[in-house]
Amino acid sequence: MRVELALFHGDDLLSRDEIHVGVAPVSEILSLYQADHWLGKDAAHIALSGFPEHTGLRRMTLDMPIHESRDWESMDIDGYTLAFWCRLDA
């Protein structure tokens, strides 16, 4: 599953990245944080960590159902917004 991630603080886009979540666990450094991810039976397990200290963000853990987004989806976390778009790889 391909997942686009965009982190906002208010209207300011802080980072925009894309990860490819597969069965094998992967740890990768993105533009603003680290992403650890793997594909489970029913969900993509994604953990975001290593944020800059000034953000106050520690670790975000997402168990994202395997699906194809119709539009951007988002979640609010401590004054930040994490937007994501999921696509099923062919």
pLDDT (tens digit per residue) in 35-81? 999 999 999 999 999 999 999 999 999 999 999 999 999 999 989 99
Place of tokens 């395997």: 66
In Å, how far are 4, 9, 20 from 49, measured between CA atoms?
Answer: 16, 16, 17
User: CA–CA separation, 61 vs 48, rounded Å?
Assistant: 6
CA–CA gap between residue 41 and residue 84 (Å, rounded)? 20
Per residue in 1-27, pLDDT (tens digit) is 999 999 999 999 999 999 999 999 999
Q: Which domain covers residue 65, as residue numbers?
A: 2-87
Contact 17, 31 (CB under 8 A): yes
Residue that is written with structure tokens 């106050």 in the block? 56
In one-letter notation, the amino acid at residue 63 is D
pLDDT of residue 90: 52
Domain total in the chain: 1
pLDDT surpasses 80 at 89: no
d(Cα 19, Cα 30) in Å, to the nearest integer?
9
